[in-house]
Chains A and B, each alone.
Chain A
Amino acid sequence: MARLTTTLLGRRLLGRKLLGRKLLGRKLLGGLFLVLGSTGIAWSTPQVPDDDALVLAELPPGARHESAPARELAGARFDVALPLAQFYIARSRASGDLRYLGYAEAVLEPWARRNPVAPAVRVLEATILQSRHAFDAALQQLELALRAQPDDAQAWLTRATVLRVQGRYADAMASCGRLADRADAAVTALCQQSIAGLTGRLRPAYTALVALPLQQLSAEARAWRYSELGEMAERLGDDAAAEHWFTEGLQLDADDLYMRAAYADLLLRQARAAEALQLLTGYESMEPMLLRIVIAQQLLGDRRDAANRAVLSGAFDVEQQRGEAVHRREQARFLLDVEQQPAAALAAAQENWRVQREPDDVLILLRSAQAAHRPDAAAPALQFLQQQQLEDVRIAPYQRELR
């Protein structure tokens, strides 16, 4: 596989080489070179460290060579492969580290080549694909898994989630319906009400979830409920309630990165940048979090934002070269709110729209279209809003203006 794009990289390489040679000059004339630094993907030069004790990498759990025997065993034993893949996927969820998805994929690979493929393997593969935003491929795996095993509750739930992200609410609702006889009533209700809240029944769905009896739910399901409640309250315009749900939810599950990001957005929207920064401390290694940190730093006039901007744009460049769209939404927001390049932001938001259609995706597309003075580009999102009767007070003003 060789995707080929021609660029003007030669010039950048050249600039980098010169920067390396004139190290002292760079220090003396640092300002001049900041401009140059922002043009390259990584412009630091390789070095030979002078201290043997210098720590180059801290190895996170499961990422040591020691685990090689376990991974090898997983190739021979299904009862080792499944939990190991689940472990890696769970690590990826908690740490935001994409590499774990690759480790999980490697563990599943020999089992995915078998004929027939076990439905459990397909469901895990779908989860990996979904985390990489390869939604259509994820759905394909789920269809195959469900054909072999129509009773698989996890497969129906994952399917509902993927369809929801794609904005295919009717199909998603049907998938939630298939959970009814196979999973807990409370999980089914969560699944159904979260879709109802996106399709013209926001207030009743919110009321239903508030009333959902807690004792029926496990800790994970409770955190999910808090996350849904927080977002629903935000869409209803009740920020105080939203904040209540987010803080409760994060107390229950501090590792829920999605909820943390949503809470940070709420704080940023209310210009409470210092609180947002505090909320995100320690999460700098994750691009979606770093984006919000940079926005907060800009609001505060914090000079450290420049370095973080370079990190983010480097990470986006690498993703682009890989041809992946995992963080296209974040990239669009970065271009719009941080770099102030509305035209480029709109292009990224449009590309993102082809992949996913959550309220946040609607919002970034409308905001970019408005900033770029391209109301025509907002049409697909406006049509979507009308079709689904999606209610969201954050979106409504743009909806009115762009119509």
Chain B
Amino acid sequence: MSTRMLLATVLALMLLASPAARAHVASNGFLVVQVQGAQLRGSIELAVRDVELAIGVDANRDGRVTWGELRASEPQLIQYVAQHLSIGAQGSRCPLDFQGLQVNHRVDGNYAWLPFSAQCRQSVRQLAIRYSLMDAIDPSHRGLLTLTDGAIAQTGVLGGSDAPALFRVDAPSPGRAFVEYLQAGIWHIWSGIDHLLFLFSLLLPAVLLRRHGHWEPVTRVRPAFISILKVVTAFTLAHSITLSLAALDVVRLPSRLTESVIAASIVVAALNNIFPLVTESRARIAFAFGLLHGFGFASVLADMGLPHGARLISLLGFNLGIEAGQLAVVLAVMPIIYMVRGDAVYRRTLMPWGSAVIAAVALVWLVQRAFLPTG
């Protein structure tokens, strides 16, 4: 190499060597596997950019990958993924069945999202995952795994090795199962706004009394407290019964039906505050509709699954989590409502109009859930 060339090389590379941290995200694939007995459900996600490099999807070579082009390459993509990803349980392979390519948006761009299901020969205790996607194209590519068995989740990093990665899917300790499902229950109440709206609709008038066609504030804490206690207890009792029955596979209802009726229950409860029909025994409404909400909770639990070997303790944890989350909300809201109950603004504006808004939102859900195709 001549001195001139040497210097050119040095200088060309010199700035590379400057100590900056400069990078997008490296290439990642996202693998989600949910274990349910011997059944696997999951998805694999690859960046559209990576898919292009691996199998070539930019058919018209204009430097842009469109949805049409990606969709047309679905069979090749499935073939490529099937060659480079395999999952086995206790030594025997669980054949992956891919279907229904979709697109997911992530921080570093669009990803091809491919769901799959698989049937293993026996209930899964140890998963072996072989992952060599993007292997020869980008050795720094890694598969980021989220493996769940019910609410018990673990993560792992795949790729960069010929040996399969092994993951144990054991029955969790009862304590761990209880805590995880307790948290899942609390989380569900706080993110499942429909149950809260139903409860609010029943609680808003709990600090009032209906007399001669008008709302009047209760005069003492005691009746308000008892009224709330009755409503909450009735709701809890009812949904605990159906949640347990459904979770243990004694009774099953189609989820479209339960979801629609839950929405309807909110509409009814909210409208009852504006045009009161039932004023004395809201606890009965709470109980009747609570039975249906229980089926709603159960469908969430069915999505998560109960870990084998710890079913009952997990169910108990989930149920208590729901009660705890609910109680926290009641304890936060009720003192405020109690304090403002004497204010005419509360009785004439806040309560009826708040109820109207709740009814409107629930009505939209009702239409969505009962009549629109599910996606």
Contact = CB atoms under 8 A, between A and B. Distances in A.
A4 B154 contact: yes
B193 A10 contact: no
A57 interface: yes
A266 interface: no
A10 B184 contact: yes
Given A57-B49, A57-B109, A103 B137 contact: yes
Given A48-B103, A93-B16, A93-B22, A15 B108 contact: no
B26 interface: yes
B83 interface: no
Given A99-B49, A256-B15, A321 B63 contact: no
A224 B14 contact: yes
A321 B6 CA distance: 40
B28 A322 contact: yes
B6 A89 contact: no
A99 B24 contact: yes
B103 to A, nearest CB: 6
B171 interface: no
A44 interface: yes
A211 interface: no
B22 A6 contact: no
Nearest to B114: A46
Given A10-B304, A57-B48, A65 B56 contact: yes
Contacts of B7: 153, 183-184, 187, 218
A14 B165 contact: no
Contacts of A1: 157-161, 165
B99 to A, nearest CB: 12
Nearest to A319: B25
Interface in A1-29: 1-11, 13-15, 17-19, 22, 24-25, 28-29
Nearest to B156: A2
A200 interface: no
Interface in A24-72: 24-25, 28-29, 32-33, 36, 42, 44-49, 51-59, 63-66, 68, 71
Given A10-B150, A52-B66, A58-B64, A102 B10 contact: no
Contacts of B18: 161, 224, 227, 256, 258
Nearest to B163: A1
Contact of B104 (A42, A55, A133, A321): A42
A395 interface: no
A9 B107 contact: no
A199 interface: no
Query: Interface of chain A, helix or strand or loop or mixed?
Result: helix
A367 B148 CA distance: 39
B103 A49 contact: yes
A238 interface: no
A366 to B, nearest CB: 19
A256 to B, nearest CB: 7
A58 B183 CA distance: 42
A282 to B, nearest CB: 14
Interface residues of B, number: 98
Contacts of B9: 154
A253 B15 CA distance: 11
B142 A322 contact: yes
Interface string A250-288: 000100111001000000000000000000000001111
B98 to A, nearest CB: 14
A318 interface: yes
A256 B19 CA distance: 12
A165 to B, nearest CB: 4
A330 interface: yes
Given A63-B52, A322-B26, A221 B107 contact: no
B136 interface: yes
A74 to B, nearest CB: 11
Interface in A110-158: 127, 130-133, 153-154, 157-158
Contacts of A285: 24, 108
A86 B165 contact: no
Nearest to B368: A24
Nearest to A57: B48
Interface stretch (B67-75, B240-248, B274-282, B330-338): B67-75
Contact of B136 (A53, A106, A314): A106
A342 interface: no
A122 to B, nearest CB: 13
Nearest to A48: B102
B137 A106 contact: yes
B211 interface: no
A239 B147 CA distance: 52
Interface in A178-206: 182-184, 187
Nearest to B176: A6
Contacts of B140: 98, 101-102, 105, 132
A10 B109 contact: no
Contacts of A11: 151, 180, 183-184, 187
Contact of A287 (B23, B48, B136, B303): B23
Contacts of A3: 156-157
B146 A13 contact: yes
Contacts of B17: 127, 130, 157-158, 161-162
A257 B323 CA distance: 53
A51 B67 contact: yes
A384 B57 CA distance: 53
A261 B20 CA distance: 9
Interface in A296-319: 311, 314-315, 318-319
A323 interface: yes
B293 interface: no
Contacts of B136: 106
Contact of B52 (A55, A64, A102, A130): A64
Contacts of A329: 21
A184 B155 CA distance: 51
Contact of A14 (B134, B160, B304, B365): B304
Contact of A65 (B14, B58, B142): B58
B187 A46 contact: no
Interface of A: 1-11, 13-15, 17-19, 22, 24-25, 28-29, 32-33, 36, 42, 44-49, 51-59, 63-66, 68, 71, 86, 89-90, 92-93, 95-99, 101-103, 105-106, 109, 127, 130-133, 153-154, 157-158, 161-162, 164-165, 182-184, 187, 218, 220-221, 223-224, 227, 253, 256-258, 261, 285-288, 311, 314-315, 318-319, 321-324, 326-327, 329-330, 356, 358
26 contacts: A1-B157, A2-B166, A4-B167, A6-B155, A9-B146, A19-B191, A24-B365, A25-B194, A33-B191, A42-B105, A42-B107, A56-B48, A57-B52, A59-B64, A65-B53, A65-B58, A96-B24, A99-B50, A102-B26, A157-B14, A158-B17, A162-B17, A224-B14, A257-B22, A286-B22, A327-B21
Given A25-B194, A57-B47, A319-B26, 8 more contacts: A24-B364, A25-B361, A64-B56, A64-B58, A89-B16, A98-B26, A154-B9, A288-B21
Q: Which 5 A-B pairs have the closest CB atoms?
A: A65-B56, A52-B68, A258-B20, A102-B138, A2-B165
